[in-house]
Chains A and B, each alone.
Chain A
Amino acid sequence: MTSYSKEVIADLVAGTLPWPQTRRVMSAYKDDDRFFKYVSVLQDRVGWSDPILLPVGDHLFICQSGEERVTKCECGHSFGDYRRNWKLKAAIIVRDNEELLREIYPNSDLPDPEWMEIREFICPKCGTLHEVEAAAPGYPIVHDFEPDLEGFYRDWLGKPLEPSSKGG
């Protein structure tokens, strides 16, 4: 069975694994023990001790926070119950005019702000840009991911989660 050291996984996640080695990882049979090593790498990276249950973005994690399961930014800011859309608790910048769009697209033809706006969802504590939506004005904010967390741990990983009194 293919398996890599935690250091290799850490470098891979950080984008610092040399390309020839990365290429070999991409081409090889996948390592079945990846998930818990990955979570362990991420747990070392964050500055808090709530166990990470599932990464859902580059700096966004579902974690066990006391009795609750919440979506948390890498900085420690909690967006609340992981079953709700974390974006609704985020801060937002909406680029809906030429001046604001031009900041990101300095030399291309721009969308018509009457037809499309760029929405940036930001951690209100550390300012990390977690997600960007390009949507028509008035389009409901997307709930990107509703994982079957319990089923994943129970049926796919074979390690059922401890029952949680709150937050799923």
Chain B
Amino acid sequence: MLDKPASALRIRERLIESERLMDETGCYDGITELKLRNQDPLKFETLHTKLRAYCVSAREMARRISASPGVREVGEMVVAIYTPEGDAIALSNGIMVHVHTMSRFIKWMIRNGYEENPQIRDGDVFANNDAFIGTVQVPDVMDVMPIFHSGRLVGWAGAVCHELEAGGITPGGDVALAQERFTEGLFVCAEKVGENDELRRDYVIRCERNLRMPIYWVLDEKAKVASCIDMRESVKALIDEIGLDYWMQVSKEFIEEGRRAQLARTRQLTVPGIYRGHTFYGHVTAGKPGYQPLGDPDWLYNIPIEMEITADGKIVMDFEGTQPWGYHSMNCTPAGMDGGMFVTLTQHMNFEGLVNDGAWMATELKLPTGTWTNPDNEMVATATSWALLLPAYGVFQRLLSRSFIARGFVEEAFVGQVNSPMIEMGGQSQYGTPFGMAHFECAAAGSGALAIKDGLDTAYVGWNPESDMGNIEIWEQNMPMLYIGRSIVPNSGGAGKYRGGCSFLSTWLVSKTDHLRLVTSEHSSRVFDNGGLCGGYPAPTCQKHRAVRDSNIFDLAENRAPLAHHTGTNPYRSELEVRLEGEHVTLEGPYITAPHKTGDVFTHSYNGGGGYGDVLERDPVKTAWDVENGFLTWEAAEGIFGIVLDEDEEGFPVANLEATKRHRAGMRAKRLARAKPVSEWMAKERERVTAADFAPEVKKMYASAIRLSPRFTKDFSTFWDVDAKSTFGVE
């Protein structure tokens, strides 16, 4: 039954008051004492566990309503319960990045007078996918519903699904070709899309008429509304049981407890100080069809991060020195940056206790205005913001990991996440109907190594700790392509004492269509967008795309001749070139090109993670197993790791320990002979810096960073003993 509010909610005043109390006391909503927790800790913990159970159960139920393989197969969904002011109390598993972005969305509505118009009433459904209001990118569509009890707003239930189609200039959700907001697709800007527990028909019609594959979005909407109603009713029943006053107090204590726990955990697991790291991202689009000449086509992004862990355990992350926003889809809003921080914290530090917005409150992000992390123009596109967000938070993971190593918690040290390139498509389906879809098998990249073991192979992405590539058969039902290969890519993890997890590569045969647009995004060109740690190497993450148009694959199949199932390990002549005839294509940067048709072959590779430790310390026995199983090649074992392998009587590789020892001694000697003092290298390099003898994109990167950041300018000038501004012609 609907619960009508007795009077105006005045929630905006309550939000302002809550923030004032936090400023004054340093504690969430002025909760300086955890009274209910102290009164009955068991009841306190039990109640939070119940809330979490409501969330997990609501999400699982909702996944069965969705038609999207993204939600059903790989779990691209999260739900959470919020306070009336919009702070997360409890959440489900799934794409946890959005727990805090939804918080921003709720607060945005409160601040913008939604109480008066369009009004917040029981049974209302509000939706949003505008990143400047609160989400990461256009396909991340969130729905929230208020929870009323006894005529009073007592909380919110919220749910997010990553949509596989957003109706943008290119098909799919991560709209690669978008260069401004106006080409990103269907926007729902904090809009009331439902009343009385039902979605409005006119909203559904708008979705149906503006999306290539509305069934995904519309059924996901129904799934989200169902999950919100489920959580709402559970919370109301709980309030009936524990009383309204108790609920209002305990929900805030949960958050304050989460904040305190985060600070305590930082003091327990890390070491105070300043940590620094960086990564890069190359964006190459020159000459590609469809790009408007709004800005430079090729861009090198530097992503430096300075992290301070303060004496009281606060984590402060500063992105000063990074690049400006651009006319591409990789910009990120502060909401997205918050989300990245939240999902990383939940994986690395909040593995016990209450997980909620309290953890986020114990951190601070410094996002320089005008950079891709905080654009000073709300018309910019953010549809592929993960392209820069994932590498950035990979750096954060490495910085945190160094602190874990310093403190002795080596089992928590993790070289971090990598970008996992997205492939999206649209056109005519195998059923002869229009379609559009993001292929979400990318939700299973290789992870960075740990400080005590190799990374996970094809089993991790930063945005969803519950990573899953989905079943081939399900994907094949949804697109006009058939798998002819899904293979581990040898040597795709960064080398190290512990190697990064390997990636996989899919090889598809385009089938039963004359018009298939394939588009890729979130993969770096010309530079690696990840790193190693403590001597480990970055993973090779600047792969190009390879395809064959008008291939002879059907003839080969008819003649029972061997097909190409992967690209192979020869970087100069792929298996496609060896096995197939046709027009061979190798393309750098986003794969934006003319449509494919039946008989074409396309490959798409995901990324492995960075390595940990010195390669010459890698376990030879484990390496022999890796070679046997295709994670490393024989050549890499010997050439990179210095491990000599023999064959046993059945032809399997076995480590020759004595020969390995000798070979490694030689490699170490060669390493020392080849190395030169850093001071000598710097003296020579300084000449190049003074002359600004760099590629145009590198020069542009320096000039942009110098324009935006006094600190970068000072650090660069001091390090090389030059005047950075005059070196790069910055006024």
Contacts and interface: CB of A to CB of B under 8 A. Distances in A.
B560 interface: no
B273 A35 contact: no
A147 B526 contact: no
B453 interface: yes
Interface string B552-569: 000000000000000011
Contact of B402 (A56, A104, A129): A56
Contact of B612 (A38, A58, A93): A58
Contacts of B682: 88, 141
B672 A94 contact: no
Contacts of B678: 87-92, 121, 141
B275 A136 contact: no
B269 A135 contact: no
Given A39-B408, A92-B678, A145 B527 contact: no
The dominant DSSP class at the A interface is: mixed
Interface residues of A, number: 80
Interface stretch (A23-31, A43-51, A160-168): A23-31
Interface string B88-111: 000000000000000000000000
A137 interface: yes
Interface in B690-727: 694-695, 697-698, 701-702, 715-716, 719-720
Most B C-beta atoms less than 10 A away, residue of A34, A103, A122, A132: A132
A122 B698 contact: no
Nearest to B398: A144
A30 B406 contact: no
Interface in A124-154: 124, 126-149, 151-152
Contact of B300 (A90, A104, A124, A136): A136
A132 B537 contact: yes
18 contacts: A12-B410, A37-B408, A38-B408, A55-B405, A57-B534, A106-B491, A106-B571, A106-B636, A115-B698, A127-B672, A129-B614, A130-B535, A134-B279, A134-B528, A134-B531, A140-B716, A141-B719, A142-B278
Contacts of B352: 29
B273 A115 contact: no
Contacts of B685: 138
Interface in A53-101: 54-60, 87-94
Interface stretch (B24-32, B182-190, B240-248, B538-546): B538-546
B411 A142 contact: no
B672 A12 contact: no
A107 B278 contact: no
Contacts of A38: 407-408, 410
A156 B538 contact: no
Given A58-B497, A116-B526, A132 B273 contact: no
Interface of B: 267-269, 271-280, 282, 300, 302, 311, 351-352, 402, 405-412, 451-453, 489-492, 495, 497-498, 526-528, 530-532, 534-538, 540, 542-544, 568-571, 612-616, 633, 635-636, 639-640, 668-669, 671-672, 674-679, 681-682, 685, 688-689, 694-695, 697-698, 701-702, 715-716, 719-720
Nearest to A154: B311
B272 A111 contact: no
B526 A148 contact: no
Nearest to A108: B540
Contact of A136 (B527, B543, B616, B639): B527
B269 A106 contact: no
Contacts of B409: 30, 34
Contacts of B407: 34-35, 38
Nearest to A32: B268
A93 B553 CA distance: 45
B452 A22 contact: yes
B390 to A, nearest CB: 16
Given A114-B698, A115-B526, 10 more contacts: A35-B407, A58-B405, A59-B534, A104-B640, A109-B543, A116-B527, A132-B538, A144-B275, A148-B271, A156-B272
A9 B408 contact: yes
Contacts of A143: 276
Most B C-beta atoms less than 10 A away, residue of A9, A17, A137: A137
B688 A137 contact: yes
